[in-house]
Each structure stands twice: as C-alpha cells, then as structure tokens.
A and B are shown apart, each in its own frame.
Chain A
C-alpha cells in the first residue's frame, strides 16, 4: 500500500539522502554556511511533514504491516527490498523525523567547521535510521543498521570533543562487534526458517529450543550493546561526552531505541520460548541497569555524563517492560522509548545551549541560572521533571505502565525498579539545584537567554512533553493492535496444536 500512490517509505528513506546532494556545491566554499543550514533545516522539516502522512494513512486497527513495498533485490539468497511499518515502527519513525530538525537547529552555532559535510552526515544518518525502522527484510535491515555506523562515526570523530577519536572508535567497534553476531544469527535463520529473509515469515514459526537459545543470545548481544544494557553500556558515556550536541541527541533519542526495537521486532516474536527462558536474566539485567545507572548518574560532575547514565537507567525500564511481555509492559516500554527520545533529547539540547555559551558542561561551573536565563531555566526544569516521571508529564505514562505491567507478574522486580524513579528524582533535582538555583557566579562569558534557533529546537519538545503527558491515549492507540498481536505471538503453543 502506498500513500497517494507514492511509495512513501522509500521516499522517506531516500529523500534526505538524495537531498543531501544539494549541499555538495557548498563544499569548501566560504560564506555559504547560512544557506547550508537553512537547506538542511528545510529538508528535515519537509521530511517530518512527509512522515505525518504515515499517521494519516495508517490504519490503527490492523496489526499487519502497512505501506508495504516489496521488490526482489538480490536473487541469490532471495533477498528482498521489502519495507512496511506497523504501529510500533510508526511512532519511532515519526519521533525520528520530529527530532531531526532539532538536531540541525542545535548545530546552528555549535558546529563551526566543515558544515556541509556535517549536514550531509546528519541527513544520510536520518535516511538510514528510518530504513532500520521500515525494513521487513532481514538483510535490508542489517544493511541500514550497519550503514548508520559510518555517519555516526564521522559525527563523533570529526566534530566531537577533545577525546573524540577514542570515543568514536570505541563506539564503532562495540557496535560492530555486537552486530556481527546478529549477522550470523540472520544467516542461520535463513536456513532454519525456510530460505527466506522475510521478517514476517520468520516470525511465529516454532524453532527448536537449542536454536532459539543460540540465536536469541546472538541477537541479544547486538541489541544489548545498542540499548545499551548493563554490562554493555561502557561505550555510551564516552560517546555522549565527546559527541557534538546533535550527535548526542541522535544517539540518545533514536539510536538507543533501535536495540529495544530489535527485541520487539525480532527476539520476542521469533524466539518466544527462548525469550521466556531468558526472562529472569533479562529482568535482572534491567533492574541492575535501572539502579546502577541511577547511582552512576548521581556521582557525575559532567552534565552530559549524568544524562548518559540516566539513559542507561531509563532504558532499563524499557527492557523491563519488554520482557515482562504483557500488553501493559510492552506498551509502557514503547511509551518510555518515545518519551525518553523526547525528554532526553531535550535535556541534551539544553546542555548544548549552555555548552555553546561557556564551553563547559561541569556542574561546578554553573549556578543561579534562573536569574540570568529565566526562560531557559523554566524549560530545563520542565524537562528534568519530565525525565523523573512527574505525573502530568510524558514519562510518567510510560514508567507507570511498565511498573503496572511488571507488578502483575514480577512484584519484587517491579518494586526494585520503582527505586529507580526515586533515584532519578535525586540526581535530576541535584542537577537542577546546582545549575538553576544557588548563587549566580559570574564568569568571563555572557549568558544570554535563548536565541531564536534554540527556541525553535526546544519549544516543540515542551509541547510534546505536556501533550503526551496529558493525552497519551491517541499515541497508545497507534500501536495497541501491534502490541496485542505481538503478545499473542509470545504465548506458548498449546500442546494440542503441536500434534
């Protein structure tokens, strides 16, 4: 199915990639940076508006893939160029296209060298990320999944902080090593699952238990590195601290979600028995991530590191929700993914605002900003409150659903996870008290309040924080059918149907 007879998913993937060629003539020219930024902003905004057509054309009562496109790509091995989305991918795609203009805006003054190349990387990355969420052929998925590494490697390595090369290489190798095992699992699935890479056909088959366990573990490594789950998270603080603000936003808001997306799209429906077998293990890791990430966040002096560790903690909530494997849990996990994307992205943008002014992210460098930058401080407080899941903000919905979902089956785990909420209040309020309140310590740099481009990047996020917080149902209804179907696939097969 297409929208207005245009293959809309292909268009969404390749529009930013092809449009990025528009920036090539500006390469190595001086004095055209303004034009480059406006063109990049224009492309990402158009992309966002186009992606809204998915919301219009989507039928929320279906769990099947929609907007399906399918062409034979490489005949040997039966590899297809197959795209399609369901409710789960839909929200993630719209979140991606929604956040990309913000990443351009936050680079307005933050990026000063080689702007055309930076914007080309951002746009190519956007195409690849949308491709990851759309692909319904496993090889195609893998191609997009790894292709993302190249622009992200360059974004961290070229425009990052002082220790950027180390961080870029660490990011690249960690993710690559994880994903390569996924590749073997994909190939093994091809032979076991009947010579196809079609994700829908590979799901819902009942593979042998040994195979399920091995393949689950191989995929687990790939996705756990990406999320990142404890103990695979050590690349994240480095990558976040060194990446430019736009890179941090993309990493935290979008790329971390891909690991969780992978669990939802592949691990659960393809290996339900192994997923159940590993549930205690996964829940334990999730709880460790929640509590340990929060404690690490408490100890950070660098704001980006603080938020990076809070991401580990919040993504622990996501994996917790995914692996309790009931409707509330998974819907909560999806809400949490969406909200973490919005809120954490916003927090990184806020840190970027400060960093552009003072080139420091240390808590000790700031104090009393409420007087100097009242509007900024207000927004920062809103985002921080959202991040600690204050009722009325978006994150509350997700965390609450996950906790309900997990309490039904795993009361102890759920209670332990709740401490994460308290701890997140501790580190976020601590950060606020250091930055926003306290005594203003004038340094030798001016701290003007928000510029217009910063308004542009933060305002839409504030709106989303409050709208989703107050009216979560329209969002939930988008993926309710898909989640219900997924949970159905997870149920053990009754013995009768096996004979």
Chain B
C-alpha cells in the first residue's frame, strides 16, 4: 500500500506496460527486442499480482509468491530464448525475424 496512489493508477500503469509489450512483440524485427517485449508483458503481470495482493488482500501472500514464481520462470525462459537466439545466430549469422522464415509451409 503506497500512500496517495490508488490501485487504479497502478493498474493503468501496468496495462500501459502490457500493451507496450504487446506492441513491441508484434512490431520489432529483432529477436532480442521481441524477447525484451515479452519480458515487459511478464513484468506487467507480475506488478499486477503484487498490487492486487497488496491492495485487496493485504493479509495474504499468494500474489507475492506467484510473482516470485513468475520471475523465476521468466528467467529460465529468457535463458532458453537467448540460447536459441545464439544458436540461430551461429547458423545464419542474423537475429532478424525475417531471416527465420525458412520453415514456413
């Protein structure tokens, strides 16, 4: 609970963060940028968890615990994604999305 800031303001912030992430995911050409966008989406939801927990159920801990889970999973996912991107770079010397379309059809 932060004095002077209501839940709506924080939720508006996380919503903006979420959609910025979505926009970035859809429009970025670089795989690293896409990865960063995904992180933004995840972080938006993490903040949501914490805020809702704090503001609505102050005597519980599930939301906080979930946020820690999500951070851990996001870290693992990022490690995996970076590994894939590095491998891809070794194969085709590029991390551009348009160069990875060879598997279509």
**A-B interaction:** no
Q: Enumerate chain B interface residues (CB-CB to A < 8 A).
A: none
